[in-house]
Amino acid sequence: MTALIEARNLVRTLPATVPVTLVRDVSLSVEPGEFVALTGPSGSGKSSLLYLLGLLDRPTSGSLSIAGHETGDLDERDRSRLRLSTIGFVFQFHFLLPEFTVRENIEIPMRRLGRLSRPAMRRRAGELLESLGLAGQFDKRPDQLSGGQRQRVAVARALANDPPLILADEPTGSLDSKNSLQVFDILRGLSRDEGKTIVAVTHDLDLAARMDRKLDLVDGRLVADTATAGVAVT
């Protein structure tokens, strides 16, 4: 099976009088279906690496291929297109559009992609919300939901176009332990039952221990790559 993420010697340096290097020479390969924890001290470059993997940012050097697409040569438009169909982002904050209902928020990426008919989009949004325990919340606006519910809507939105890859940056960082567990279980299930590849930044080592694999970043460098929970690293 070909790797979903294939990063070789990724470097990200911010140009400045004193250049800041956020990511140093990171090489890694993630297979489809893996549930990967990205851990490390605050400021170690976890988010920066995730932005590179999610095509939100461009590496200063190194190469990256996502789902078989070499991304170095892609222009902004193609990168957006690849992100739209292949990658789902979940951030620490939900970032839902406040003017739109829960369902409309989830339909936005689907409409941008335009692969389904409008009724099919509507159906899919409903199914996603139901599967995430949000039945009955379809027509509410984000500010009418609790923090945990909003984050689950954000997960649903990340899943809208059925991307093979989910990138999550401290998805439970702003939630209490009960809601954290709930969102974690959802991600766990997506990986196990639907074969989604998930890379999640987390500070919670207990959660990290329950994933398949743990990557440790220190000062922008990948210092450890360990299999956890008895799942072999390929």
Partner 1 sequence: MTLLLELAFAHIRGRARQTLVAGLGVALGVGFSIAMAALMQGSQDDFVRQLVDSMPHVEITDELRAPAPQPADAAYDAVAYSGLRTSEDLRGILNPTAVMAALEAWVPGTVAPGLRSRALARNAGREAGISILGVEPDREVRVSSVAGDFVFGSFAELAAGGNNVVVGDGLGTLLGAQYGDTIELVASTGQVRSFRISGVFHTGVTARDEGEVYLSLTNAQILAGRPDAVNDIRIRLDDPAAAPGVALRAEALIGYKAVSWQEANEAILEALNVRNVIMYTVVAAILLVAGFGIFNIVSTITFEKSRDIAILKSLGFASADMRRLFLVEGLFIGALGSVLGWAVGYGLCLALGFIRIDIPELGDATSLPLTWSVWHYAISSALAITSAAVAGYLPARRAAALNPVDIIRGAT
Residues of the shown chain interacting with ligand ADP in the complex, contacts defined by CB under 6 A: 14, 20, 22, 40, 42-48
Q: Is 101 in the site for partner 1 (CB under 8 A)?
A: no
Shortest separation between residue 184's beta carbon and Mg ion, angstroms: 18
Per-residue CA distances from 104 to 50, 129, 153, 156, 200 (Å) = 27, 12, 11, 12, 26
CB of 54 to ligand ADP, least distance (A): 13
Q: Residue 83: what residue type?
A: R
Q: Does 202 bind Mg ion (CB under 5 A)?
A: no
- Collapsing DSSP to helix, strand or coil, 197 comes out as strand
Smaller CB separation from ligand ADP, 182 or 202: 202
Query: Which residues, 30 to 69, sit near Mg ion by CB under 5 A?
Result: 47
Spatial distance between the Cα atoms of 155 and 190, rounded to a whole number of angstroms: 10
Give the one entry of ligand ADP, partner 1, Mg ion, none that residue 108 binds, where binding means its C-beta sits below a cut-off of 5 to 8 angstroms depending on kind: partner 1
Strand partners, 139: none
Question: Rule CB under 8 A: is residue 56 a binding residue for partner 1?
Answer: yes
Query: Contacting partner 1 (CB under 8 A), which of 13, 21, 80, 131?
Result: 80
Kind of pairing between the strands at 197-201 and 35-39: parallel
Write phi, then psi, for 133 (nearest 5 degrees): 70, 30
Residues that bind Mg ion (CB under 5 A): 47
